Amino acid sequence: MGEVDPIECTLYATSGLNPRIECFEKFKVLDPSWPDMWYLNRNLKNSSLPDLNVTTAWELGYTGKGVIITFLDDGLEWDHPDIFENFEQSASKNLLDNKDDPRPDYSHYVQNHGTRSAGIVGSLANNNLCTIGIAFNSRIGAIRILSDQAVSDSLLAQALEFNREKIHIYCSSFGPPDLELIEPGPKTKTALREGVNKGRKGLGSIYIWASGNGGEFEDSCAYDGYINSIYTFSISATTENGNKPSYTEECSSILATTFSSGSPEEKSIYSIDIKGECTSDHSGTSAAAPIAAGIIALTLEANPKLTWRDVMFITVLTSRAKAIVSNNYIQNKRGLLVSSRYGFGLMDAGRMVEVAKNWVNVPKMVTCDVQSFDYLVKTRKLFGITEVRLFTNSCQGTRNEINYIEQIEIVVSILVKIRGFLEFNITSPMGTKSQILQVRKYDNSPEGFVKWTFMSVYFWGENPKGEWILNFGSIDASIVEMSELNLKIHGTKNKPCEYEKYF
C-alpha cells in the first residue's frame, strides 16, 4: 500500500479540520473498479466530499486480518476468483439443504444477493479483478437460509448460533415483507440474546441488520422486530450525493448509516457477482449493511478485545452526523446528534480504528423495568392525543441502577381501527423527544399491536431518572386503546466513557 506516515494520512481529525489528501500520492489500488468506488476514495480526489474514511484505516495497517464474517443470505459463490482465497468454510453452511457448501442455487431464480454482499467486504486486493473489499484480509463465509420461501424461526436461530465461538460478525441484509408486522420468533430471540453473551468466547457476536427498503411504500422499520432488537446493529443508507434514498425506512432504532444507491443519476456499490462476474449496481440497505460489516471488521482487528457493546459505543461516538446534511437530526441532552433516518450518522472507519485501539471496555449493561400496567387507557377525545406519564427513580439503590442510558424498549398492546394511522412519541426526563412510531398510510390492518417491542437509541448517554411522557393517537381521530405498557431502560450505573471528548 505504500510507505506513508499514518498521522499525516488521518482524513478526519477529531478537531474537525478539513481532510488532508496530499499524502496519498503513493496510495495505489490496482483493482479495475477502484477509480469508480466513490464511497471509499473520493476524499482522495475532492476533500469536500465525505467518504467512509476506509483508506485511513488501511494506511494504519488494518485490513480485517483475523476477523471472520458470515452472511445470512441466499448463498455465496465462494470460488469466485476475487474472493476464493478469503473463503472460510468454518463460517459457512447451506442450512436449506443441510450441506457444507453454501453455493447459491442457480436453478430457478437469480441468487446473487449474498455473493454481492460478501464481495463488498472480502474481495481480494490488487489482483486486477473486480473490486477491493473493505476488509480485504478478512475471512468470509455464508450461511444459506434465503430462498423463495419464508425463513422459519428455527432456521434463522440455527444461522445466528452457527459456530459463534469462531465467527465475529453476522451480516443480514433481509427483512420482513413491506407493510407487515414481523417479530423474531422465540428461538431467534434466544439465539440473539445468547449470541451477545456467549459468542466470540464471551465478547459477544456482532449482528448487523439492514434497516429495510420499503420507503417507497412509506414503510417504517419500527414494524420490524429485528431492527427493534437491542442486540442488532441496524444500518441505514445515504446516496452518493448525501440524499435520503427513496427506499430507506425510518425508525428510532437505526444505529448508523453507510452509502448505497440512490437516484438513476447516482452511482451504486461495486462488488463481485455470480458466475465469476463483477457488478456496479449492488443497491439498497442490502449493500449498506455489508459496508458496515467491513468497517466493524477493521475495528475488531484494531482491538480484538472489544465486546459487542464496545463496538456499538464506538459506532455511536464516531459516526458523523454532519457528513449527511439533513433536518431530521435532533441533539439529545448528552450532546449526541441522532436521526430516525440515519441514526448517529455516517460511519467513519478511520475514527473507529483510532478510538478502538485504546478503548476501555464499558461496564456491564443492566436493565431497569420502570412500570407496567394491564388496565385500559383510551384516547381522551376525538382529535386528541393520549398522554401517559411514568416516573422512575431509575432503580436507584438496586443492582439495576442506571444513570447512563443506552437503549430503551417500550412493550405495548394497542387496539386501533387502522394500524398504519397510529403515531407514538416518548419524551425523556431530560427533554429529548423520540418518535417511536410514525404513520404508515398504506397499512390498513385492524390488528394493532400485541406485546410489541419498540426500541429507541435517541436517549443514549442521558440520565433516565424522572418523568417519562408518552403520547399516542390516531390521525383519523378514531379511538385508540392501550391495554399494556412496559418501559425497559438499558444502560449502566457508572459512566461508560468520556462522551465529551468525541464531540
The H-or-E segment that residue 172 falls in is: strand 169-172
Please name the residue that has the C-alpha cell 434514498.
245
CB of 298 within 8 A of CB of 314? no
| Options 31, 33, 51, 73, the catalytic residue | 73
Give me the DSSP letters along 230-287. TTEEEEEEE-TTSPPPTT--B-TT--EEEE---STTS--EEEE-STT-EEEEE-HHHH
| Options 74, 82, 113, 123, the catalytic residue | 113
User: Which residues contact residue 146 at a Cβ distance below 8 angstroms, ignoring those fewer than 6 apart?
Assistant: 72, 73, 74, 75, 111, 113, 114, 174
- CA atoms of 131 and 408, how far apart (whole Å): 40
User: Does the annotation count 51 as an active-site position?
Assistant: no
The H-or-E segment that residue 156 falls in is: helix 153-161
Helix pair angle (349-357, 284-302), 10° resolution = 30
User: Does the annotation count 211 as an active-site position?
Assistant: no
| Options 172, 173, 261, 286, the catalytic residue | 286
Please name which of 403, 371, 383 lies closest in space to residue 469, comparing C-alpha atoms. 371
Cell matching residue 127: 489482483
Please name which of 202, 117, 118, 205 lies closest in space to residue 161, comparing C-alpha atoms. 205
User: Does the annotation count 282 as an active-site position?
Assistant: no
Give φ, ψ of 41 to 5 degrees.
-125, 0
DSSP assigned state of 321:
G
151 alpha carbon, distance to own chain's centre: 20
Cell matching residue 200: 466470540
DSSP assigned state of 307:
-
What count of other Cβ atoms lies within 10 Å of the Cβ of residue 205? Answer: 23
C-alpha atoms less than 13 angstroms from C-alpha of 242 in its C-beta half-sphere: 15
CB of 282 within 8 A of CB of 268? yes
Q: Is 66 left (phi over 0), alpha (psi -120 to 50) or beta?
A: left
Give me the DSSP letters along 202-233. GT--EEEEE--S-GGGT-BGGGBTTTT-TTEE
Please name which of 225, 251, 255, 234 lies closest in space to residue 435, comparing C-alpha atoms. 251
CB of 250 within 8 A of CB of 343? no
Q: Is 394 left (phi over 0), alpha (psi -120 to 50) or beta?
A: left
Residues noted as catalytic: 73, 113, 286
